[in-house]
Structure 1
Amino acid sequence: MTFKPWLAGVAAIALCATSAMAQDFKPAVVFDMGGKFDKSFNEGVWNGVKRFIDESGDDVMEFEVTNETQRAQAITRMAQRGGNPVLGVGFAQADAIDAVAQEFPDQMFAIIDVNWLDRPNLRQYSFKEHEGSYLVGVAAAMKSETGTVGFVGGMDIPLIRKFACGYKQGVLATKPDATVLENMTGTTPAAWNDPTKGAELARSQIDRGADIVYHAAGGTGLGVIRAVADEGKLAIGVDSDQYAVAPGSVLTSMLKRVDNAAYDTMTDAKNGEFTAGIMVLGLAEEGVDYVADENNADLLTADIRDAMEAAKAKIVAGEITVHNYEDDQACPVD
């Protein structure tokens, strides 16, 4: 599966064919802190890279950032080694990849979770996380027995507030008298890798009545899921399918198809079809979704799936508009 069918419909995209660059195809990826096996965001990207490797037989250079100072160094080193394209993982790499793309104008670059840069050799992927979060909010509202659900975010930034706001909209549209508890883990990048703090926040929400907790917290979220499972409650994962973190205790996961973004970046570059610009991916573009399979079928019952699919169809058709927190730094249900 690739994103090709929706290229013409992307909301904001400046096309810039770079087929000549494909002659020196040498793909590279720089994972961010947490590592490529973080069971969340980075691992989603890795799944797309691995799919490309398995299908093409090509090698992909890679580096896993372990501290903030390594981002610029790693991206620069990949470019110096002929990386083409170089894929950066996460908004924290934005400044670095912007500078390196300018320094190496004849090479291709791409970055996930960024939509504000402007380089003719840079592809940017942005996702409508609020749409996918709305759907898992519907599920949480329907599954909750207490009428109280929770959300634990990682670093307190507008992107994560976007997840929280979409979730709350879905919950309250489904059950107007529900209570949604919300906590952010911190204000520095360390908030992405603090499972102990995530567990503490989850237990605090459970103590206040939450029986379902959704997280958007990277590695911190692993602590959330395990704590929720230990308390006999249900968690909602994010980015990748996180059922395996606590089998039987994960209601669903909000999928952010960064795997397809990574796969398409490398496939397009290899085929001489790489384009620069901003690609905005929501439910209509299959950029976000939720997990419904044999693992969680007993938890995510048919009536819940039907309600989620009905909401999904209405969002795609424009009958439901999910407010984007990043548009005005506000959430209408707060």
Structure 2
Amino acid sequence: MIINDFIYFNQTGLYCPYGDFYLDPQQPVANAVISHAHGDHAVSGNTNVYCTNATYQFMLIRYGKNAGREFHLAEFGQSFYVGKVKVTLIPAGHMLGSAQVLMEYEATRYLYTGDYKLQADASCEPYEFVKADVLITESTFAEPNTVHPNHVQEVIKLGDIKMNIMLGAYGLGKSQRLIRMINDLVPRKKILVHHRIMPLCQVYEKLGFALGKYELYSRKLMKQQDEYIYIVPPFTFDSYFKAVGVKRLFASGWKNLQVNEQDTLMISDHADWGDILQVVAHTQPKQLWTLHGDGRHLATHFSNTIFVKMLA
């Protein structure tokens, strides 16, 4: 039997009262199950943190001794209990260590996707389909007209730019994906990375996800017109809006973050409309609960087949 209030939002975040834990809480809590290490999902200061090793490593870099009091690390597919709820972390394909959270209680399976993508990505574990009675999906791009372009063709376009590029990208996940893709698809380009991104790259290497060739940024190197791609986090990218001698691009699935009409780099780490429908088809849920976006289009699409509830 599906429990309608198995999880719900309160002032602290997404709460499961049957296990007394939060999923990606927005404020420090006693028990937190963290899907991945992006700042809007992984806050510091929780007492007990349940996550993958990669998420733990990234949180240590980001938060240091304030990352959390006690970490309980789980391999993908390894089940454990939080309260009376059986929890299993399943690869989400969003970034290294990102997990879906499968929760089993009284013979009912609830699957929280966290952020996820289906596009191939050699820099992280691929998305894994599982069956569940309730699919709790992010709906960031849950709009029928949203179709992410081919990520391979987007990166290949960088080869047509015959000057140095300042490439803005989120420091964790997106940057490492781009490093690997540029090395694989446009290997003549030389990659420089911002000093804030380098320690995160080192975690990838340590955990067995080789990214290829890249080196720490040097002003001397960047002054050469040698087709360098300098990958920088958003705050650095924004501060160099008047930079000369470089082509400025920002890698994102959001059209409003593209900065050049002539050259865009539409690279998303989220599921688009078609991906979400594919996940629903494989998961075969009796109910679909949506969050982190607009679930109205999914409610309309499945109005005659699956009950859809919008959590937020």
Q: What's the TM-score once normalised by structure 1's chain length?
A: 0.38
- Compute the TM-score of the two structures, normalised by the length of structure 2: 0.40
Give 1 or 2: higher strand fraction: 2
- Quick check: which one's helix share is greater? 1
Instruction: Determine which structure has greater relative contact order: mean sequence separation of CA pairs < 8 Å that are 6+ residues apart, divided by chain length.
Output: 1
